[in-house]
Amino acid sequence: MTMKFTKDSGLVKTWVSLVLCGVFTLDQVPNLFNLKTVVSEIINSVV
């Protein structure tokens, strides 16, 4: 069984906030299951 993050996951929301605030870049988002993919999709749809 693998973990699957969604746009509503708390960890996704945290990383999106950190990237949007400039604390981290998209490249620094951990490659944890599909976390980086979901965060990238949200950031790309906002920017």
2 confidence band (pLDDT: 50, 70, 90): confident
Average pLDDT (7-12) is 97
Label residues 7-17 b or e (16+ Cβ within 10 Å = b).
Answer: eebeebeebbe
pLDDT digits (tens, 9 = 90+) for 13-40: 999 999 999 999 999 999 999 999 999 9
Q: Has residue 7 got a pLDDT over 90? A: yes
Q: Has residue 46 got a pLDDT over 80? A: yes
